[in-house]
């Protein structure tokens, strides 16, 4: 997506080769915009079906690729959560500059980002799927120690997708820092 002047904003991570299917989704049409934010280790692929559905209903759709995603798990190592917040807010502001109505949706981490946007900006509606609101688990206190011993945590079952065909096409990481 471009800034208000029509210039595409790029970062160093934007220049990295993307995983197949991790490309941002942008469908420019209609009078209202639908912003979809993907989850941790995921990609805009998560929004593909919703993007098609809402575009058929006449909505513009923007599903950006969040920093550190869609390339390699190593790219997540030096990403701060504030970069995801900034990218999500920038995406919202770009949509708001183009469309009078903007609906924000997110899955998992993207859902938490969507709630953050809704708390700080005038959105028309917010939809979340599996957004973590409060994380109360004593094991979280062990994360700083575990990070010194384990560089990556591998996903035991891969993406949480029921369809084997869709799971095989999913552009998400199999491990995370």
**Phi, psi for 169 (deg, rounded to 5):** -90, -15
Higher pLDDT, 56 or 3: 56
Given a contact cutoff of 8 angstroms between Cβ atoms, the answer to whether 91 and 99 are in contact is: no
Distances (CA, A) of 106 to 50, 137, 142, 164: 11, 23, 28, 23
pLDDT digits (tens, 9 = 90+) for 95-119: 999 999 999 999 999 999 999 999 9
Q: Where are the beta strands (DSSP E) in 59-170?
A: 60-63, 101-107, 125-129, 153-154
Calpha distance 59→31 (Å, rounded): 7
Structure tokens at 35: 């912003």
How do the domains of the chain map onto residue ranges? 13-133
Domain 13-133 fold: Rossmann fold (3.40.50)
Q: How many residues does the chain have?
A: 177
pLDDT digits (tens, 9 = 90+) for 56-78: 999 999 999 999 999 999 999 88
């Amino acid at each position: 997506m471009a800034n208000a002047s029509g210039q595409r904003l790029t970062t160093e991570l934007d220049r990295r080769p993307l995983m197949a299917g991790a490309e941002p989704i942008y469908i420019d049409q209609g009078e209202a915009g639908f912003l979809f934010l993907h989850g941790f280790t995921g990609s805009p692929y998560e929004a593909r079906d919703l993007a098609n559905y809402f575009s058929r209903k006449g909505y513009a759709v923007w599903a950006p690729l969040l920093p550190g995603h869609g390339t390699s798990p190593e790219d997540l190592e030096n990403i701060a959560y504030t970069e995801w917040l900034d990218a999500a807010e920038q995406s919202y502001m770009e949509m708001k500059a183009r469309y009078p109505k903007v609906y924000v949706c997110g899955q998992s981490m993207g859902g938490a980002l969507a709630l953050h946007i809704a708390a700080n900006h005038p959105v028309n509606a917010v939809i979340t799927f599996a957004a973590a609101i409060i994380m109360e688990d004593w094991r979280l206190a062990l994360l700083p120690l575990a990070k010194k011993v384990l560089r990556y945590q591998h996903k035991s079952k891969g993406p949480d997708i029921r369809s084997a065909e869709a799971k095989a096409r999913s552009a998400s990481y199999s491990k995370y820092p």
